[in-house]
Amino acid sequence: MTDIDWNDETTRRQDALLRDLSSLLAIPSVKDEQSATPGMPLGIESAKALAFILDLAGREGLRTASIDGIVGYAEYDATDEETGADYIAVLCHVDVVPASGEWTSPPFEPTLRDGRLYARGALDDKGPAIAALYGLLIVKELGLPLRHRVRLIVGTDEETGMNCMDVYNRHELPPVAGFTPDADFPIVHAEKGQVNSRMTLRFSEGSARQNESGLVGYRLRSFQAGTAANMVPDRAEAVVQGSPAQLERLITAFWSYCANKQIVGSMASDLTEQNAAAILRMEGKSAHGMAPETGDNAGIRLLEFLYEQPFTGDDRRFIHAAVELLAGDTSGTALGIACCDEVMGPLTVNIGLLRYEPHNRDAYFHLNIRFPVCTEGEAIVANIASRIEGYGFELTPPILKPPHVVPSDHPMIPTLQKIYSEHIGMEATLLSTGGGTYACKLASCVAFGPLFPGEPDTAHQQDESIAIDSLMQATALYARAIYELANLDYSQRKEG
């Protein structure tokens, strides 16, 4: 199509790019409610970061705009006359997560070491944002004709709820195609939907009285596991009351259960009082909630042990619901919601939080469900609600996020695949994820880089960094992608 040497165009701008990136990285644009005002909803530093990149784009001759101080864009229009409303978008963000932990060099003093640039935001997402801006500037400076306008959209609260893109979508029409440089290469085109809800126990009337009097079985005084809905709990603790003789039996059973199942357990008890208590703890394996099958839910493990013990009333209903509805696998079989499709794989259920506090009449399991396109959030909720009813549970109002898929026949996809494989010399396999990327906030938007296969993911970590070679490679890819996507014909698609 052209004989532009995209790598050469990028290399010639490397010094300027790194200088601008370093200035942006020096702004500690962490959400700051203290300094937030209506015009600066994420605080003064986030506002500075947005202003920095829009000013830079403006000086280079791009048209810029800010919407409510939370999101902005820089636009390049090289179309001749009839442009229409169609545009291509590159979606990036300039907010960062806090820089906790021990850093080798200060997180907001960008430092070059061994071919990598170290700073909070170097990889997520200021490095890629500047790469995309430079990609657009390369296309502009080459004076290439474009069929569609190109917009670099810059958000400021990707890390804290992505409200910036809700604001954007309320004010602006969606692009015909776009990508976000905020995940992995080659191309992430599909993201599972999510359902987040709590299964809460309806305590039976008079259960408190029943628990006080009856000493037929043990009593579960409290149970807890998990600290975040999107993580697999790696620790669980149950406090069980009973007579000293009962608890001695329980403790013996506990140790042999742990030994048989090769579970790391620990225990504390005081059996001197008539109404004694034992604290039972089990360990599992933590994992991200989007891949619960790679972890081992300590809460479920401990409840499986308690299932074999003689509990009654609400205690028993809590334990039985967990084991009969939630244990066994992470694909939702017992809840009646298991399904799987070719693009995204199986539905997964993570039980991120497990709580039982009968003294507060509070007991729930937090369900973090990620589902492929073969089902729908509403159907999942309806199935679960009917399945848990007989156990005395109900669902809190669910938070639904639909799946996000750009079909592989969207004209953007083969174009990005061709660009990637020609530059990198590897096949551009389409990826799907159980996690959420920024792309889900924009119709017809995929994730395209910045992390190449095999590179360490340092986002949100201490000593966050990006390899300079990768950053420059990504810039060349973004320049060419912008140029080619802005010259595709999307009219077939819109009519179809």
Q: By CB under 5 A, what part of segment 399-458 binds Zn ion?
A: none
Distance CA 398, CA 113 (A): 46
To Zn ion, the closest distance from the beta carbon of 435 in angstroms equals: 11
Helix axis angle, 14-25 relative to 44-59, nearest 10°? 160
Report the relative pairing of strands 193-201 and 187-191 from DSSP bridges.
Answer: unpaired
Block residue for tokens 């989007």 = 290
Distance CA 394, CA 72 (A): 42
Stretch that binds Zn ion, among 49-57, 182-190, 401-409, 478-486 (CB under 5 A): 182-190
Q: For residues 175 and 152, is the Cβ–Cβ distance under 8 A?
A: no
Stretch that binds Zn ion, among 124-132, 203-211, 212-220, 484-492 (CB under 5 A): 124-132
Rank residues 155 and 265 by Cβ distance to Zn ion and give the closer one: 155
Size of interface with Zn ion, in residues (CB under 5 A): 3
Rank residues 276 and 477 by Cβ distance to Zn ion and give the closer one: 477
Task: Say which residues have a Cβ less than 8 Å from residue 61's Cβ, sequence separation at least 6.
Answer: 140
Q: For residues 168 and 71, is the Cβ–Cβ distance under 8 A?
A: yes
Rank residues 125 and 315 by Cβ distance to Zn ion and give the closer one: 125
Rank residues 128 and 358 by Cβ distance to Zn ion and give the closer one: 128
Q: For residues 233 and 357, is the Cβ–Cβ distance under 8 A?
A: no
To Zn ion, the closest distance from the beta carbon of 436 in angstroms equals: 10
Annotated catalytic residue 9 = no
Cis peptide, bond prior to residue 329, ω within 30 of zero? no
125 binds Zn ion (CB under 5 A): yes
Stretch that binds Zn ion, among 9-17, 161-169, 181-189, 235-243 (CB under 5 A): 181-189
CB atoms within 10 A of CB 10: 24
Annotated catalytic residue 114 = no
Nearest to 136 by CA among 25, 48, 17: 17
Residues in the chain: 496
To Zn ion, the closest distance from the beta carbon of 182 in angstroms equals: 4
To Zn ion, the closest distance from the beta carbon of 110 in angstroms equals: 17
Rank residues 182 and 463 by Cβ distance to Zn ion and give the closer one: 182
Distance CA 338, CA 321 (A): 17
The residue annotated as part of the active site, out of 158, 182, 234, 315, is 158
To Zn ion, the closest distance from the beta carbon of 465 in angstroms equals: 15
Stretch that binds Zn ion, among 7-15, 146-154, 175-183, 297-305 (CB under 5 A): 175-183
To Zn ion, the closest distance from the beta carbon of 120 in angstroms equals: 12
Report the relative pairing of strands 265-270 and 276-283 from DSSP bridges.
Answer: antiparallel
Task: Say which residues have a Cβ less than 8 Å from residue 402's Cβ, sequence separation at least 6.
Answer: 193, 377
Rank residues 182 and 304 by Cβ distance to Zn ion and give the closer one: 182
Report the relative pairing of strands 404-405 and 187-191 from DSSP bridges.
Answer: antiparallel
Task: Candidates 182, 234, 296, 484: give the one binding Zn ion (CB under 5 A).
Answer: 182
Rank residues 183 and 201 by Cβ distance to Zn ion and give the closer one: 183
To Zn ion, the closest distance from the beta carbon of 50 in angstroms equals: 15
The residue annotated as part of the active site, out of 20, 45, 95, 484, is 95
Distance CA 218, CA 102 (A): 46
184 binds Zn ion (CB under 5 A): no
124 binds Zn ion (CB under 5 A): yes
Q: Which sequence positions are flagged as catalytic?
A: 95, 158
Which residues contact Zn ion (rule: CB under 5 A)? 124-125, 182
